[in-house]
C-alpha cells in the first residue's frame, strides 16, 4: 500500500477545480467555483468547489454531498480507493511505492479484476488489428470508411479474431482466469462448462467510462453476412449502458468550452465528426436517450443537438428523446442532415463539412419540432373526439417524461402552444397536465402510514447545546489552525455524538503533529458521509462566525467558547431545577440560587454575540 506521505502528496498535487471541471461545467463565484451537482438531479447551481484558505473540497448545498479529490473520484467515477489513488497519482505524475498488481493480491476486488480483463482485452484487440494476418479484413473496413490512423489511435480501435478461442487462448492464464473473462463478458460459457470468445471477426470499439478507462466493447461486423450488425458487451460492475456515452472522455473539454453537445447514434458517426475537427460529439451506443444520459450532459452544457435520421423511425426516436432531455434544463434542437445522409457519409463528401455545420446551425427548436409533429397528427384526424385522443396521448407522454415538471417558463410555453393547437383555453390544458401527472404518481398502499425517520444519533441533545458545540468546532475547521482545535479532554466533554466524532477527528489529526488541519484531511478522517456533510457545513458556518468578529479568528473562538460555557451552565442549572422539583425535600434557598443564576445568564445562553455598529 502507498504511504501516508504519498497519499498526502497526491492530494496536494491534485487541482480539485481542474479535476471536477473535467466532469462539471464550473464558473467562478466569489472565492469558489459553482456548477450543477453531479450527485443529484440539480436544476440550479448548488454545487461549490472551495479552494481558498488552503482548503480543497466540494460541497453541495442541496443534497449535502461533500468530500475531497479522493471521494469525488470514488463517488462520481465509481472507483475503489486503490484505483482512485493510482488514477490521481498517474494524473499528477507521481510514482507510488509498494503497489501490488491484481494478480499478486488475493484481496483485490471484483472491479479490479474486471478492469484488468478489459485492459488486457483492449491490448489484445489492438494488437490483432496490426497483425499481418488477423487484421487484414478489419484494416480494409477501416480504410473503406476513411478512418485515419490518428482516429484509430485516439479511439483505440481493434479487431476480434475469426476463431472461437482467439482471445481465450491469448489471455486466459492463472493470472487472468477464465471466470474473470466470463464475468467481464469477453467469454461466454456453454452448459458443459467450456468457454468461447464472445466477440468474433468484428471491428472492436472500446467503450470507456468518464475517466477514459475501458469498461466495455462494441463490435461491428466485418463480414456483411454476419449478424447482428453491432454487438455490445453485457452490463457489468464497470458498465451500465443507460449511463454511458460513447466518446465523452474525448469530447468533454470541447462540450464545456462551447456549451453545446452534438449527440449522434453510431460509433463511426462519432469518429467521423472528430476526424473532421468537430470534437463536441458523443454517441448513445445505439440505444435510446436516457434520463441518466441527459443528467450527465446537463452538467456540461446548455444546448444539446440531436442528430436523427429523417425517416419516420428517426422522427419517433427524436420525439421520445426530447422530453427526457428537456426535463433536465437542456435546450434541445433536432438536426436532420441533408439528403438522408448520416454524419459519416456526409462528412466524407467534398463539401460535407460545410453542409454539416449549416445543418447543425439551423437545427429545429425541440418545442417547434414536437408541436409540428402534434399538429401533423391532429390534421390527419377527423372529429372532435379523435383530436381529443391525440391531444390526451401527447399530454400523457409529456407528463410521464417529466417535461411538465420542468422550469415554469417552459411549462407555460407548452401550455399556451397546446391550447392554440387544440383551440381551447390554456387553463384546460393546464388541468389536463395536472391530471396526467396525478395518474402517474404512486398511490399510497392501504393502511400505509408515513413516519418521520428516527434521528441519526440515539442520544437526545438539546438543540441549543448541539448548535453551540458545532459553532465551537466551526472556527478551527474554517481557519485550519491546529492551535484552535479541541484537546482530547475537550473533545470528551462534547455531548452531541456528531460533534464529538468531528472533534475527535480534529484531535487525531493534531496528534499527528500537524500545525494545520486541512479540510480535505478532516473529510478523509470522517468515515461517515453524514458526518462529512455536517463538517463541510461547519466550514461555511465558521467563515460567517469569523466575519462577525471582523476576521479575528481568536476572537471568534473566544466568543464561541463563552457561548458554549453559558449554554452548558444554563442546561446544568435547568437540570438542577428539575431535580429540585422531583425531590422530596425542596430547599427554597437552593431553588432561589438556581433561578437567580438563570436570570443572570439572559434568555439565550448560547447566542453568539453579534457585531454592532459604532
pLDDT digit string, tens, across residues 78-99:
888 888 888 898 888 888 875 5
Q: Do 506 and 575 reside in the same domain of the chain?
A: yes
CB 70 within 8 Å of CB 81: yes
pLDDT digit string, tens, across residues 124-168:
999 999 999 899 999 999 999 999 999 999 999 999 999 999 999
CB 277 within 8 Å of CB 232: no
CA end-to-end span of the chain: 58
- 73, 99, 125: which is the final residue of a domain? 99
Q: Report the distance separating Cα 500 and Cα 492, nearest Å.
A: 7
Q: Do 112 and 186 reside in the same domain of the chain?
A: yes
Strands 202-208 and 158-159: antiparallel
- 214, 239, 264: which is the final residue of a domain? 239
Q: Do 222 and 255 reside in the same domain of the chain?
A: no
Q: How many domains does the chain have?
A: 5
Check pLDDT > 70 for residue 238.
yes
Question: Does residue 369 form part of some domain?
Answer: no
Q: Could you count the other beta carbons within 10 Å of the beta carbon of residue 392? A: 13
CA distances from 176 to 114, 117, 170, 399 (A): 10, 7, 11, 49
Question: Does residue 524 form part of some domain?
Answer: yes
Question: Does residue 455 form part of some domain?
Answer: no
pLDDT digit string, tens, across residues 204-221:
999 999 888 999 999 999
pLDDT digit string, tens, across residues 38-80:
988 887 889 999 987 667 899 999 888 888 899 899 888 888 8
253 alpha carbon, distance to own chain's centre: 17
- 65, 99, 133: which is the final residue of a domain? 99
Q: Do 248 and 203 reside in the same domain of the chain?
A: no
Q: Do 221 and 349 reside in the same domain of the chain?
A: no
- 472 vs 411, residue with greater confidence: 472
Q: What is the DSSP letter of 246?
A: B
Range of the domain at 389: 381-439
Q: What is the CATH number of the domain that holds 118?
A: 3.90.980.10
Residue 288 phi, psi dihedral angles, 5° rounding: -70, 150
Q: What is the CATH number of the domain that holds 478?
A: 1.10.860
Q: Report the distance separating Cα 159 and Cα 219, nearest Å.
A: 8
Q: Do 469 and 579 reside in the same domain of the chain?
A: yes
Q: Do 233 and 247 reside in the same domain of the chain?
A: no
Q: Do 28 and 113 reside in the same domain of the chain?
A: no
Q: Do 287 and 358 reside in the same domain of the chain?
A: yes
Name 35's bridge partners.
47
CA distances from 423 to 385, 398, 611 (A): 13, 19, 61
Q: Do 131 and 143 reside in the same domain of the chain?
A: yes
HSE-CB of 407 using CA atoms within 13 angstroms? 12
Q: What confidence score (pLDDT) does residue 589 get? A: 65
Q: Do 76 and 124 reside in the same domain of the chain?
A: no
Question: Does residue 414 form part of some domain?
Answer: yes
Amino acid at each position: 500500500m502507498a504511504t501516508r506521505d504519498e497519499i498526502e502528496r497526491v492530494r496536494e498535487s491534485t487541482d480539485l477545480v481542474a479535476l471536477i471541471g473535467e466532469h462539471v461545467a464550473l464558473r467562478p463565484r466569489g472565492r469558489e467555483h459553482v456548477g450543477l451537482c453531479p450527485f443529484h438531479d440539480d436544476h440550479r447551481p448548488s454545487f461549490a468547489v472551495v479552494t481558498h484558505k488552503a482548503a480543497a473540497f466540494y460541497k453541495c448545498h442541496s443534497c449535502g454531498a461533500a468530500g475531497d479529490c479522493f471521494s469525488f473520484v470514488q463517488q462520481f467515477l465509481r472507483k475503489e480507493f486503490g484505483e482512485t489513488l493510482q488514477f490521481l497519482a498517474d494524473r499528477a505524475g507521481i510514482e507510488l511505492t509498494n503497489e501490488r498488481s491484481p494478480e499478486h493480491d488475493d484481496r483485490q476486488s471484483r472491479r479490479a479484476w474486471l478492469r484488468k480483463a478489459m485492459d488486457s482485452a483492449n491490448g489484445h484487440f489492438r494488437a490483432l488489428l496490426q497483425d499481418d494476418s488477423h487484421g487484414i479484413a478489419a484494416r480494409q473496413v477501416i480504410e473503406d470508411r476513411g478512418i485515419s490512423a490518428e482516429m484509430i489511435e485516439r479511439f483505440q480501435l481493434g479487431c476480434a479474431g475469426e476463431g472461437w478461442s482467439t482471445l481465450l487462448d491469448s489471455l486466459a492464464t492463472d493470472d487472468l482466469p477464465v471466470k474473470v473473462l466470463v464475468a467481464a463478458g469477453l467469454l461466454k460459457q456453454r452448459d458443459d462448462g467450456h468457454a468461447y470468445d464472445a466477440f468474433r471477426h468484428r471491428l472492436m470499439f472500446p467503450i470507456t467510462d468518464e475517466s477514459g478507462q475501458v469498461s466495455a466493447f462494441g463490435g461491428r461486423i466485418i463480414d456483411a453476412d454476419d449478424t447482428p450488425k453491432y454487438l455490445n458487451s453485457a452490463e457489468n460492475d464497470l458498465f451500465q449502458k443507460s449511463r454511458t456515452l460513447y466518446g465523452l472522455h474525448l469530447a468533454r473539454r470541447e462540450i464545456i468550452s462551447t456549451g453545446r453537445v452534438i449527440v449522434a447514434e453510431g460509433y463511426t458517426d462519432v469518429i467521423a465528426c472528430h476526424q473532421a475537427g468537430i470534437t463536441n460529439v458523443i454517441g448513445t451506443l445505439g440505444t435510446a436517450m436516457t434520463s441518466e444520459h441527459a443528467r450527465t450532459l446537463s452538467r456540461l452544457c446548455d444546448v444539446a443537438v440531436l442528430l436523427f435520421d429523417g425517416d419516420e423511425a428517426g422522427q419517433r426516436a427524436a420525439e421520445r428523446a426530447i422530453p427526457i432531455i428537456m426535463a433536465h434544463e437542456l435546450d434541445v434542437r433536432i438536426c436532420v442532415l441533408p439528403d438522408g445522409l448520416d454524419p459519416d457519409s456526409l462528412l466524407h463528401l467534398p463539401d460535407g463539412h460545410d453542409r454539416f455545420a449549416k445543418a447543425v446551425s439551423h437545427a429545429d427548436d425541440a418545442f417547434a419540432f414536437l408541436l409540428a409533429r402534434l399538429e401533423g397528427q391532429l390534421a390527419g384526424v377527423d372529429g372532435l373526439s379523435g383530436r381529443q385522443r391525440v391531444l390526451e396521448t401527447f399530454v400523457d407522454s409529456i407528463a410521464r417524461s417529466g417535461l411538465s415538471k420542468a422550469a415554469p417558463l417552459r411549462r407555460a410555453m407548452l401550455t399556451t402552444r397546446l391550447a392554440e393547437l387544440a383551440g381551447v383555453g390554456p387553463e384546460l390544458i393546464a388541468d389536463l397536465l395536472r391530471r396526467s401527472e396525478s395518474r402517474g404518481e404512486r398511490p399510497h398502499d392501504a393502511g400505509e402510514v408515513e413516519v418521520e425517520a428516527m434521528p441519526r444519533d440515539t442520544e437526545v441533545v438539546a438543540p441549543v447545546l448541539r448548535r453551540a458545540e458545532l459553532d465551537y468546532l466551526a472556527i478551527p475547521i474554517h481557519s485550519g489552525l491546529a492551535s484552535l482545535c479541541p484537546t482530547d479532554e475537550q473533545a470528551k466533554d462534547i455531548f452531541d455524538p456528531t460533534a464529538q466524532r468531528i472533534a475527535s477527528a480534529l484531535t487525531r489529526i493534531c496528534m499527528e503533529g500537524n500545525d494545520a488541519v486541512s479540510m480535505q484531511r478532516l473529510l478523509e478522517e470522517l468515515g461517515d458521509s453524514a458526518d462529512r456533510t455536517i463538517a463541510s457545513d461547519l466550514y461555511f458556518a465558521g467563515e460567517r462566525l469569523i466575519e462577525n468578529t471582523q476576521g479575528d479568528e481568536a476572537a471568534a473562538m473566544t466568543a464561541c467558547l463563552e457561548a458554549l460555557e453559558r449554554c452548558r451552565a444554563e442546561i446544568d442549572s435547568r437540570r438542577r431545577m428539575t431535580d429540585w422539583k422531583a425531590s422530596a425535600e425542596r430547599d427554597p434557598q437552593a431553588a432561589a440560587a438556581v433561578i437567580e443564576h438563570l436570570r443572570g445568564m439572559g434568555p439565550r445562553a448560547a447566542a453568539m454575540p453579534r457585531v454592532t455598529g459604532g
